[in-house]
Amino acid sequence: MAEVQIIDVRKAFQATEVIRGVDIRIADGEFVTLVGPSGCGKSTLLRMVAGLETVTGGEIRIGGRVVNDVPPKDRDIAMVFQNYALYPHMRVADNMAFSLTLKKAPREEIARRVARAAEILGLTGLLDRYPRQLSGGQRQRVAMGRAIVRDPQVFLFDEPLSNLDAKLRVSMRAEIKDLHQRLKTTTLYVTHDQIEAMTMAERIVVLNDGRIEQIGAPLDLYDRPANLFVAQFIGSPAMNVLSGTRDGGTFCSDRDLRLPLPAGCSAPVGPPLVLGVRPEHLRLSAEGFSARVLLVEPTGSETQISVDADGHALTCLLRERIAVRPGEIIRLAALPSALHLFDAASGCRLP
């Protein structure tokens, strides 16, 4: 069983604590993504699972076995790095076979496993080339092939697509996802790109400043973010936020913008709140609040409009194409059920 358990793990570099008590349980065969802004500690956490960094506190278990003091080569893991880390003086086939060559495995077995990995990734014609003769996407596939040949219990990916151009990133995303469905190996994937996380993961772990903000399925994080940080991190363009208070059945912002709240909303009247509404949940409506158009950005399938509503800068994403120009007034409304309320002091979600 290749489950990975990260139990109350802490990491400090001298006096600076970078990971502050993280708990994650990854089931066998699950694809889990670690996301967060730069510097939140996700790469450090991954490297601790790999054994490339020491653990200051807590436990890491792979397959039920505590691996805190086990060197990387004995943990039965494989890692794919951001800059591929292919051995430049070896051919592709030797790169992929390196781990087996070190173990002095028989030649037929090496050839068989390399051929199988090459076939899965479409590298069969490139086995005799050197890394410098390959494109970025090919190199990344060789790095994955090197990981597959090891046939490990856990795959670790450290922002593998960050060095690729946008189009290649999209196709490689699908390939990695497809690979996971074929091999069903437990995977821990680190990225700063929340779109990658949303599309690829079965569960997402949002990390911020060494702490977990929320763990859950992608759509859960989208529909019910546990706090303001997650709400603004997941979803592109980012969620609109307004500070204000509740006044009966309406939300009243600091600048006196009013939005109707859903029935059964349990938010307290009085204390400062933060209202969140995603750009895609704002609609054109004759009964809504008025807003002055600042910027219109059509993308073909959608139109992104930046507006000024009573001093609040909001973004809305509309499915239809409307003929507005900067300076004109439009009326917007949000479905009450699509609103999110957070306590202003703690940032936590109010049900």
Partner 1 sequence: MGRASLLQKLILIVAALMMVAPAFLFFLWMASLSIKFEVDNGAYPPILLPEHFAWKNYAGVLQSNNFLLYFKNSVLVTGAATLLGLVVGVPAGYGIARMNATRAAVVIMIARMTPGLSFLIPLFLIFKGLNLLGTLWPQIIIHLVVTVPIVIWIMIGYFETMPIELEEAAMIDGANRWQVFWKIALPVARPGVVVSLILSVIFSWNNFVFGVVLASRETRTLPVAIYNMLSFEQVSWGPLAAAALIVTLPVLVLTVVAQRQIVAGLTAGAVKGG
Q: How many CA atoms lie within 13 A of 7 on its CB side?
A: 13
The one among 89, 182, 255, 321 contacting partner 1 by CB under 8 A: 89
**C-beta of 88 vs 351, nearer to partner 1:** 88
> Using the 8-state DSSP alphabet, how is residue 73 labeled?
G
Q: Does 146 bind partner 1 (CB under 8 A)?
A: yes
Q: Do 342 and 306 contact (CB within 8 A), yes or no?
A: no
Per the listing, tokens 């950005």 go with 297
- Give the nearer residue to partner 1 in terms of CB position, either 46 or 341: 46
Judged on CB neighbours under 10 Å (0-12, 13-18, 19+), 168 is middle
Using the rule CB under 8 A, is 81 a contact of partner 1? yes
Question: Cβ distance 225 to 280 under 8 Å?
Answer: no
DSSP code for 321: -
Q: How far is the CB of 71 from partner 1 (least distance, A)?
A: 7
With contacts defined by CB under 8 A, name the span among 31-39, 97-105, 297-305, 308-316 that binds partner 1. 97-105
Question: Residue 116, class by beta-carbon neighbours within 10 Å (0-12 exposed, 13-18 middle, 19+ buried)?
Answer: middle
Facing residues of 259 across strands?
A: 251
Task: Please say which residue, 150 or 278, places its beta carbon nearer to partner 1.
Answer: 150
Binding residues among 60-79 for partner 1 as defined by CB under 8 A: 71-73, 77-79
Do 255 and 247 touch, CB atoms closer than 8 A? no
Residue 94 or 302: which CB sits closer to partner 1? Answer: 94
Query: In the stretch 41-60, what mask flags binding to partner 1 with x, by CB under 8 A?
Result: ---------xxx--------
CA dist., res. 341 & res. 265, Å (int): 9
Site size with partner 1, rule: CB under 8 A: 27
Q: Which stretch binds partner 1 (CB under 8 A): 58-66, 87-95, 176-184, 262-270?
A: 87-95
Give contact residues for partner 1 (rule: CB under 8 A): 50-52, 71-73, 77-79, 81, 83-89, 95, 98-99, 102-103, 131-132, 139, 146, 150
